[in-house]
Amino acid sequence: MKFRYTKAELKQKLRPWVRALTNPHLLISVGIAWFITNGWAYCAIGLGAFLEIGWLLKAGSVWAAMLWVPGTPEKLVTFPIAIFILRLLFPNDTRTLAMIDRKWKAAKDKTRIKYRKFREKLRSRRNKELPENNQDK
């Protein structure tokens, strides 16, 4: 099996991600966001069982069960909430916010490039399928 990166290159690529993700401000924000999206269900299960409140136990159980289904898009909601909380609670954490903005812009640019290539491929296929229409123009 051949690897794409050497060990040193992999460390160099992962270092900014590890530094950003282990930032205490981001960890606090992700924790709060996780509690908003998921943690309340586990607390509801505990409180519902301890205080014998049936509807609370059922509501928490249903939500927690949904989280364990493969393909649940809960992380797609948790991380934007975490970034919002990070911007709200720690506006002076410019390093982490700048890294998030850089990664967002890079992902947006990659998506634009791939979309353009996809559209060009569709156009070229369409032009190959209908050559008589291109000759009339």
pTM above 0.85, yes or no: no
Give the C-alpha separation, 34 to 81, whole Å: 9
Tell which wins on pLDDT, 78 or 135.
Answer: 78
Tens of pLDDT, residue by residue over 40-94, are 999 999 999 999 999 999 999 999 999 888 888 888 899 899 989 999 999 888 8
For 130, half-sphere exposure in the C-beta direction (CA atoms, 13 angstrom radius) is 8
Distances (CA, A) of 102 to 30, 64, 92, 108, 135: 19, 34, 17, 10, 45
Which of 52-61, 113-122, 127-136 shows the lowest mean pLDDT across its residues? 127-136
Decide: 31 and 83 in contact? Cβ < 8 Å: no
For residue 61, the Cα-to-chain-centroid distance in whole angstroms is 24
State residue 28's pLDDT score: 93
Confidence of residue 101 (pLDDT cuts 50, 70, 90): confident
